[in-house]
């Protein structure tokens, strides 16, 4: 376990006490990074430090943060309109880490956005917030107002030439808005559909201006990296990926929740030590390691480090790092059907394979779970995992993400699918 001084994201989060104000935040070391960046560093130096820290996007894709910033045109903020957007539209089932950060220490996100905005010379910031996050919205608005009153936001911050302010935008609520180009389209007041690339957002994003979209957890790492250095951040991880990660567990465990731990912590340690293991009477059968759009792994993967490379070698993805546990009393067919229902209703409908294919998958799974499925339905589902799951066959990554639990589930739970069809019922439901 890390000491409190080594916990860069969650050390100040106390649900009982509420978020710190500017005074408490500064007393605990807040604003050091922003002050150093704005008064003693160039944007290129900031990008270099973040690149050397090997900070990767914490929203699921894992793209290098410094590399992403390097694609933005280098004109100063006063010369060209540019945007920094915090992706806080946390709608991945089983994922709640960003909500914890925003409710617990919103000033940390504000400072992280100041650092990122200076690096890419963006004068305008937007927090694209999931509409249901009412408490987070209130606390973010209060934090932004106080930061503005203290001179950390607005014109000529700390007497420099750099000006930057933040606006909170509550989303109307669509899962597809987690895709960065769909998010930008929604911000423009249009139907949330992904855009073709190029142009990439870094050169032609919100209203055609250069734009950077970063996840909340990614941005919250920045004040600590700039205050302590890239070597410090790298040393926090257990493998090639630096820093810490907020891991979470939901399902029938003793203590569902989220914990900040070194990047590369094994699944077993997260589930058994932090989450307390399975509840009495339940046995762990399989899990989705990084949210609903990742592939199932079974108990043989419990000792796999939770980092980008190791989880990929294990046949899944790190994703958001928020594991969904499946116990031995939960029907895998029913669980997958429930997931595919979510993905089907959240399709933006822009491309035919996703719009028509996902509802078809949902209907087949519901028929199998109800006991009216046929043997050929399994072949149809396998065909759909190939037609929808391979890159390039749909307009964006929504359908491939939806196929991850289905494709892995068809292999891992083949006997369960067969039993539903041969017995004409759900064996687990009938046994209950």
Considering only residues 167 and 241, tell me which one the structure prediction assigns the higher pLDDT.
167
The residues with which 245 forms a beta bridge, in sequence order, are 261
Here the CATH number for the domain that contains residue 295 is: 3.10.20.600
The answer on 123 and 77 residing in a single domain is: yes
Gap between the Cα atoms of 14 and 28, Å rounded: 14
Give the span between the Cα atoms of 51 and 66, in whole angstroms: 4
Q: Report the CATH number that the domain containing residue 392 is assigned in CATH.
A: 1.20.1440.230
Write out pLDDT tens, residues 135-155. 999 999 999 999 999 999 999
Same domain? For 219 and 87 the reply is: yes
Number of structural domains, the chain?
A: 3
CATH code, 34: 3.40.50.11540
Q: Which domain holds residue 282?
A: 244-327
Dist. CA 215–CA 217, nearest whole Å: 6
Q: Are strands 257-262 and 297-298 parallel, antiparallel or unpaired?
A: unpaired
Q: Are residues 89 and 203 in the same domain?
A: yes
pLDDT for residue 430 is more than 70: no
Global confidence as pTM: 0.93
- 65 & 195 share domain: yes
Which pLDDT band, with edges at 50, 70 and 90, does 3 fall under?
very low
∠ CA(98), CA(258), CA(232), 5° rounding?
A: 75
Coil, helix or strand at residue 85: strand
Instruction: Give the rounded percent of residues in the chain with a pLDDT score beyond 90.
Output: 87
Per-residue pLDDT of 61-119, as tens digits, reads 888 999 999 999 988 877 789 999 999 999 999 999 999 999 999 999 999 999 999 99
Percent of the chain that is helix, strand, coil (3-state, to 5): 50, 15, 40
Do 77 and 142 share a domain, yes or no? Answer: yes
If asked whether residues 262 and 399 sit together in one domain, one would say no
In a shared domain, residues 289 and 350? no
Regarding whether 281 and 341 lie in a shared domain, the answer is no
Whether residue 410 is found in the same domain as residue 318: no
Contacts of 153 (CB under 8 A, 6+ apart): 110, 114, 144, 147, 164, 165, 166
Query: What is the Cα–Cα distance from 257 to 366, expressed in whole angstroms?
Result: 30
Same domain for 426 and 288: no
Choose one of 236, 270, 305: the last residue of a domain.
Answer: 236
Q: 429 versus 342: which is more confidently predicted?
A: 342
Same-domain pairing of 261 and 142 = no
**39 and 82 assigned to the same domain:** yes
Looking at the chain, the number of H-run helices and the number of E-run strands are 18, 9
User: Of 327, 347, 380, which residue sits at a domain end?
Assistant: 327
Query: Where among 236, 265, 290 does a domain terminate?
Result: 236
């Amino acid at each position: 376990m890390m000491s409190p001084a080594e916990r860069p994201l969650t050390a100040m989060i106390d649900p009982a006490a509420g978020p710190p104000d500017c005074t408490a935040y500064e007393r605990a070391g807040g604003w050091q990074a922003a002050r150093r960046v704005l008064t003693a560093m160039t944007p290129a130096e900031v990008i270099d430090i973040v690149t050397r820290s090997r900070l990767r996007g914490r929203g699921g894709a894992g793209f290098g943060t410094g590399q992403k910033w390097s694609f933005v045109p280098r004109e100063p903020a006063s010369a060209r309109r540019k945007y920094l957007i915090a992706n806080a539209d946390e709608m991945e089932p089983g994922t709640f880490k960003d909500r914890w950060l925003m409710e617990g220490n919103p000033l940390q996100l504000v400072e992280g956005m100041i650092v990122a905005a200076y690096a890419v010379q963006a004068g305008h910031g937007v927090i694209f917030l999931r509409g249901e996050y009412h408490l987070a919205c209130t606390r973010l608005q209060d934090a932004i107002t106080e930061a503005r009153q203290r001179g950390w936001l607005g014109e000529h911050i700390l007497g420099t030439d750099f000006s930057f302010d933040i606006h909170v935008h509550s989303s109307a609520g669509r899962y597809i808005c987690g895709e960065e180009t769909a998010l930008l389209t929604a911000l423009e007041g249009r139907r949330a559909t992904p855009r073709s690339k190029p142009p990439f957002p870094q050169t032609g994003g919100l209203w055609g201006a250069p734009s950077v979209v970063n996840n909340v957890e990614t941005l919250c790492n920045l004040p600590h990296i700039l205050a302590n250095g890239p070597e410090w951040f790298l040393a926090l991880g257990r493998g090639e990926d630096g820093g810490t990660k907020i891991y979470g567990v939901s399902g029938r465990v003793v203590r569902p929740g989220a914990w900040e731990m070194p990047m590369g912590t094994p699944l077993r340690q997260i589930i058994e030590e932090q989450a307390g293991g399975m509840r009495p009477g339940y046995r762990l059968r399989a899990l989705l390691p990084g949210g609903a759009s990742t592939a199932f792994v079974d108990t043989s993967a419990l000792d796999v480090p939770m980092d980008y490379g190791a989880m990929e070698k294990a046949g899944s993805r790190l994703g958001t790092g928020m594991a969904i546990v499946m116990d031995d009393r939960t029907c895998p067919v029913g669980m997958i059907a429930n997931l595919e229902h979510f993905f089907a209703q959240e399709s933006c409908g822009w491309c035919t394979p996703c719009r028509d294919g996902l509802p078809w998958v949902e209907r087949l799974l519901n028929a199998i779970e109800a006991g009216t499925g046929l043997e050929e339905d399994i072949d149809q589902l396998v065909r759909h995992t190939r037609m929808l799951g391979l890159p390039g066959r749909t307009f964006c990554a929504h359908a491939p993400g939806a196929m991850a639990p289905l494709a892995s589930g068809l292999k891992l739970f083949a006997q369960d699918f067969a039993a539903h069809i041969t017995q004409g019922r759900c064996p687990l439901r009938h046994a209950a």
